[in-house]
Structure 1
Amino acid sequence: MLFQWGLRKKQQEGTIQLAMGEDKSGQAQDVPKEPLDTALDVNIRIIQKTTGNSSDVVIRRFTLGQERTISAVLIFTDGLADEKNVYEFLLEPLLAANIPFSLPPNDIFTFVEQKLAAVGGVQRVTQWFDLFLSLMSGATIILMDGVPIALSASTKGGEHRSIQEPATQLAIRGPREGFTESIRTNTAMIRRRIKNPNLWLETMKIGEVTQTDVAIMYIKGIANDEIVEEVKKRLRRIHIDSILESGYIEQLIEDQTFTTFPTTYHTERPDVVAANLLEGRVAVLVDGTPFVLLAPSVFIQFFQAVEDYYARFDIATALRFLRVLVFFISIVAPSIYVAVTTFHQEMIPTQLVIAIAAQREAVPFPAFVEAVIMEVTFEILREAGVRLPRAIGQAVSIVGALVIGQAAVEAGFVSSAMVIVVSITAIASFATPSFAIAISARLIRFLLMFLAALFGFYGIIMGILWMTIHLCSLRSFGVPYMSPLAPFIPSNFGDTIFRVPTWAFKDRPRLMNQTNIIREGENQRPQPPDQDKKKNEEEQQ
């Protein structure tokens, strides 16, 4: 439940005491909402008491009208409201207003609402909870003496980060703009790409303390209604104090919690969100973060880069094959080295075996311990490079890779072959487009190394089989995680490891929507002009 503000009036010394309400045990409990008072001074004292006389809550007293004057107050939060709009479109018209003497106080309030408030989003507020929610959201509150109603005018503003190129999803070809921390800026960037009234947006507030704006966006008629309702149901089920980033939402609405694989896709590119909305997915936008969630998500989606759809299909297919290959390498490369050097030396060419044996002769640790040391060291260096400032982080990465690696080999802690294997694994993990799936590979890598140290190649096969079974058991909002590979859907197979030409994208993903699956017309394949027809036209001319 939302926090509700309770008022308990006391006549002692003419003050008003604010209370949340207490039960017999002394614990705080919810109390019913209370209406505003008719006395302007009483309402001002309640606002000052509730906000702790915060210096950023601006309370501007003024006299409404010129001939007939009424005491009023204008309240807004500095930094959340656009101060220029507050003074230019609210305060100046109110000061210059000419109010007829025949109007009673309630009619004066209607006069102000309809003729003087020259901004959008004007609404009446009668409850304290709604008043404080509007005030802390950037609206301006107008209170008049003798009227137990407040006027909330939309004056949201303040400083926001400008639209910039996304830092986590760089593309060689494509738009250069990315989402910002403003939810309205983000929805506008999506609407610029999909100019259709069927693009619906529904907003709710989640977080009992933060009251964070969370919006879901989908295309009516393309998105599956059952999936949309499931997303709404999971969002309404959230009862938490704070929502500070979309990661909070992601962890509270996912199907399976005990898995290393992400079942919800996140992106900060508007073109990626628009493309997924056109496939029937639902976007979840959270105010205060540039990362937008997309649901449902499938496994193969994390290996697709945005420029795959901007480049030729043969180039995109080759790059996707490469990404899947490097993902597999990042998982099994260290475990294969451990298995081969521990159990299966006969599978290595003789000269290579002799070279590896000569390198490992001075190493005091078994291959598994050697691999764990190098992998943990690399993870430490990677975290240090990420957390430190950019210039220092790059220097730490270079020093760690060159100096520490070379010193470890010369000191006899690890072999040169292990350094090569770990380096290839690190580069392969960086080549994965999605950071979320790359983290999953980092964790599974240690499990496969442990199984390889116990059972050799048999342990690696056991681990890969377990991983495959686990992937096939996952769901994302009811959609199989491995679709369209398992279950196999031939009509959607052209956008998996392969990428068919754009003119062959005839059907949307069938598990997203069963009703509106056609997304392009017939005969979209480009063809050269008919030479005979062109020759006849030239002869007739």
Structure 2
Amino acid sequence: MALIVFSISWIKPLSSAQNKVILDKGGVFLSASKGKKGGSAAGGSGGGRQGNSSGTKPPPLGRRVTATPLSLSLAVNAHAIRKQFSDSADLRLRMTASPAAPGIRLAVLYLQGIVDENNIRENILDKLQSASAIEVAPRGSKAGDICSRLRSEVITSGLTESVTTLERALDALLLGCCLVLIDGSGEVLAAEASGGSVRAIAEPTSQTVIRGPQQGFTESLSTSIGQIRRIIRSEQLIVETQRIGRQTCTEVSLIYMKGTARPEMVDEARRRLSEIDVDGIVDSGYIEEYIQDKTFTFFPTLISSERPDQAAAYLLEGHFAIIVDGSPFALLAPVTFFRFFQSPEDYYQRFDIASFLRIIRMSAFLITLHLPAIYIAITTFHQEMMPTNLLISLSAQREGVPFPALVEALIMELTFEVLREAGVRMPKVIGPAISIVGALVIGTATVQAGLVSAAMVIIVAFTAISSFVAPQMNIANAARLMRFLFMISAGMFGFFGIISIDLILIIHLAGLHSFGVPYLSPMAPWIKGSWRDTILRMPRWSMKLRPAIAQDGNRKRQASGQPEDQQKVDQQLKGQKP
């Protein structure tokens, strides 16, 4: 009972000011009230976000506050840049001269590895060293005029920009630009030359499907955005990019459909991203922790996906996506609990098959949570619930086992978790073999040694298999952690403990939100018409409206009703005599 009281007190009340969600009469999301001191404006305490609580707005990340003017001396500018990089080995400096302007020296700087050196050689160095190209700067012209002439008449491939401060020059270098320094000029020409080795588009490794597109996101931000653009060929697809991280200056893109996504949701996502104040962002997992609605929960409030088709489908429904440069996983929000049991392949198959598979996934989730706990509760407290023959069989198996059912289950569960982690960390060639062989050997050995019963090995093995059924591994990981709570509660209180944890879990889920959207919607609160794509998937022609999170006035996504030819066929069939 103390456990129940403590858990309920830990759950934030649904009427909290930071969790207050405004719904219309039909339960459709309208807006969310803002919390205190930069809290979430869309539900949740905002504990995962690291903002500035002093009341002063921090300087924009990825930009330097100071502005040091460049010198007129090429040597001074080159020395200042090399000093900032501490003469790093990958900083390349190439001196060159202009045959048509012998009195003016030029230098080219770039960072090796993040630029396309062939592009620099063909479109910058070769043109600078070509007399016919440099003739645009006649003999005796001022050095300050050469920068603009080079930009307009010589280096015409790619984007170019004139830079007048040291800080802007450093930023351009780090973004993959090539700097052209001109002796006697206080301007530096920054030419885009980003490139280097990147991973080619390949099949997703964590979200495989039998039917559907077989390509996934890559670590290149531009490539990932381009994959979505190839699916959604609309000018309503908006991409907003900002740099986050004082040291990494990582580009993070917020993508949404204008007119479909609710403006208040997009504003809230934009606000949470702008409040992130950290040294570096390496992967989208960093962003997920900073912008999630609630920190202390097992359940994720954003979906991580490496499939462009899934991201495009979510965008068309009114969600938004966040893609981080260097990460092949996009973040999709807002989401509900039922979204984690939906696979992209559900929409490429018949609706009846998709509905059946969704029921299987949810059943596997419940099995992962409850099966070991139910076994512990029955064998420890409720033996009268088992048939006599089964009870005799289990009693015979447990004869000689020195541990109670709870300890027995914990030993086997932890053993399987170790094997699972070993299979992930081992090389791909031997990883699966280690998991399978290890499970067989250890399971057989422990039964023969009398440490555990054969029934417990079966229970734990089936539970482990069920945990792999969920399409999203983050919801499966939540079930893996929570089943230990169910097991301990069942070992202490039997079925009363299991039911108590279930009630606490339901209350906790009812209090979660994802950017203002209730986590259990459209079931709690009930939203009429949105049930067609939750636990079951109705025929595609019947899902004429977008989910309730879409912007009002633009929820209709297809013509209403069945196609006319199908209606005619149905009428003909109904009129036929048996």
Select 1:456's aligned residue among 482, 494, 516.
494
Residues 1:316 and 2:354 are matched in the alignment: yes
Select 1:108's aligned residue among 146, 150, 153.
146
Select 1:267's aligned residue among 305, 312, 322.
305
Aligned to 2:121: 87
Matches of 2:520 and 2:571 in 1, distance apart?
48
Q: CA deviation at 1:202?
A: 0.8
Aligned to 1:172: 210
Look up the SS of the partner of 1:205 in the other structure. strand
Give matches, 1:369-380, under 5 Å. 369-380=407-418
Q: CA deviation at 1:532?
A: 13
Which letter does structure 2 place at the counterpart of 1:144?
I
Look up the SS of the partner of 2:153 in the other structure. helix
Aligned to 2:172: 134
Q: Is the 8 A contact 1:4 1:31 kept in 2?
A: no
Aligned to 1:466: 504
TM-score (norm 1): 0.91
Q: Is the 8 A contact 2:100 2:139 kept in 1?
A: no
Aligned to 1:72: 106
Which letter does structure 2 place at the counterpart of 1:217?
I
Q: CA deviation at 1:386?
A: 0.5
Select 1:233's aligned residue among 271, 294, 297.
271
Q: Quick one: structure 1 residues 3 and 175, their matched pair in 2 at CA, closer, same or farther if it must change by over 3 Å? A: closer
Q: CA deviation at 1:524?
A: 4.0
Look up the SS of the partner of 1:445 in the other structure. helix
Aligned to 2:399: 361
Q: What are the Cα deviations for residues 297-340 of structure 1, in whole angstroms up to 9, with x where unaligned?
A: 11111100111000000000000011000100010000000000
Q: Is the 8 A contact 2:542 2:560 kept in 1?
A: no
Which letter does structure 2 place at the counterpart of 1:216?
L
Look up the SS of the partner of 2:524 in the other structure. coil
Look up the SS of the partner of 2:278 in the other structure. coil
Q: What are the Cα deviations for residues 20-74 of structure 1, in whole angstroms up to 9, with x where unaligned?
A: xxxxxxxxxx973211111110001111111121221111111135255521111
Which letter does structure 2 place at the counterpart of 1:495?
D
Matches of 2:258 and 2:62 in 1, distance apart?
35
Q: Quick one: structure 1 residues 438 and 4, their matched pair in 2 at CA, closer, same or farther if it must change by over 3 Å? A: closer
Select 2:233's aligned residue among 177, 195, 199.
195
Aligned to 1:432: 470
Q: CA deviation at 1:118?
A: 2.1
Aligned to 1:483: 521
Aligned to 1:384: 422
Aligned to 1:12: none
Q: CA deviation at 1:470?
A: 0.5
Aligned to 2:93: 59
Matches of 1:531 and 1:323 in 2, distance apart?
35
Give matches, 1:342-421, under 5 Å. 342-421=380-459
Q: What are the Cα deviations for residues 69-92 of structure 1, in whole angstroms up to 9, with x where unaligned?
A: 521111111111111111111122
Which letter does structure 1 place at the counterpart of 2:85?
T
Residues 1:39 and 2:77 are matched in the alignment: no
Q: CA deviation at 1:251?
A: 0.2
Aligned to 2:14: none
Q: CA deviation at 1:295?
A: 1.2
Q: Is the 8 A contact 1:143 1:149 kept in 2?
A: yes
Q: Is the 8 A contact 1:2 1:208 kept in 2?
A: no
Q: Is the 8 A contact 1:298 1:481 kept in 2?
A: yes
Which letter does structure 2 place at the counterpart of 1:435?
M
Q: Is the 8 A contact 2:318 2:549 kept in 1?
A: no
Paired residues in the alignment total 510
Alignment root-mean-square deviation, CA: 1.9
Select 1:327's aligned residue among 356, 365, 368.
365
Percent of aligned positions that are identical = 47
Q: CA deviation at 1:395?
A: 2.1
Q: CA deviation at 1:458?
A: 1.1
Q: CA deviation at 1:531?
A: 8.2
Aligned to 2:322: 284
Aligned to 1:122: 160
Look up the SS of the partner of 2:369 in the other structure. helix
Look up the SS of the partner of 1:490 in the other structure. coil
Q: Quick one: structure 1 residues 305 and 439, their matched pair in 2 at CA, closer, same or farther if it must change by over 3 Å? A: same
Q: CA deviation at 1:528?
A: 4.7
Q: CA deviation at 1:103?
A: 3.5
Which letter does structure 2 place at the counterpart of 1:57?
L
Q: What are the Cα deviations for residues 451-478 of structure 1, in whole angstroms up to 9, with x where unaligned?
A: 1111111111111111111111001111
Look up the SS of the partner of 1:430 in the other structure. coil
Q: Quick one: structure 1 residues 503 and 65, their matched pair in 2 at CA, closer, same or farther if it must change by over 3 Å? A: farther
| Runs of 5+ consecutive residues of structure 1 not aligned to the other structure | 6-29, 535-541
Give matches, 1:459-538, under 5 Å. 459-525=497-563, 527-528=565-566
Which letter does structure 1 place at the counterpart of 2:449?
A
Residues 1:181 and 2:219 are matched in the alignment: yes
Q: Quick one: structure 1 residues 531 and 371, their matched pair in 2 at CA, closer, same or farther if it must change by over 3 Å? A: closer
Matches of 1:513 and 1:93 in 2, distance apart?
52
| Runs of 5+ consecutive residues of structure 2 not aligned to the other structure | 1-58, 573-578
Which letter does structure 1 place at the counterpart of 2:173?
L
Q: CA deviation at 1:527?
A: 3.4
Q: CA deviation at 1:4?
A: 9.5
Matches of 1:529 and 1:393 in 2, distance apart?
54
Q: Quick one: structure 1 residues 207 and 31, their matched pair in 2 at CA, closer, same or farther if it must change by over 3 Å? A: closer
Q: Is the 8 A contact 1:119 1:155 kept in 2?
A: no
Greater alpha carbon shift after TM alignment, 358-367 vs 101-110:
101-110
Matches of 2:347 and 2:199 in 1, distance apart?
29
Matches of 2:206 and 2:138 in 1, distance apart?
60
Q: Quick one: structure 1 residues 4 and 335, their matched pair in 2 at CA, closer, same or farther if it must change by over 3 Å? A: closer
Q: Is the 8 A contact 1:506 1:520 kept in 2?
A: yes
Q: Quick one: structure 1 residues 392 and 403, their matched pair in 2 at CA, closer, same or farther if it must change by over 3 Å? A: same
Look up the SS of the partner of 2:110 in the other structure. strand
Residues 1:221 and 2:254 are matched in the alignment: no
Q: Quick one: structure 1 residues 112 and 531, their matched pair in 2 at CA, closer, same or farther if it must change by over 3 Å? A: closer
Q: CA deviation at 1:401?
A: 1.2
Look up the SS of the partner of 2:271 in the other structure. helix
Q: Quick one: structure 1 residues 104 and 524, their matched pair in 2 at CA, closer, same or farther if it must change by over 3 Å? A: farther
Aligned to 1:243: 281
Q: Is the 8 A contact 1:4 1:129 kept in 2?
A: no
Matches of 1:235 and 1:520 in 2, distance apart?
33
Which letter does structure 1 place at the counterpart of 2:84?
T
Select 1:441's aligned residue among 471, 479, 486.
479
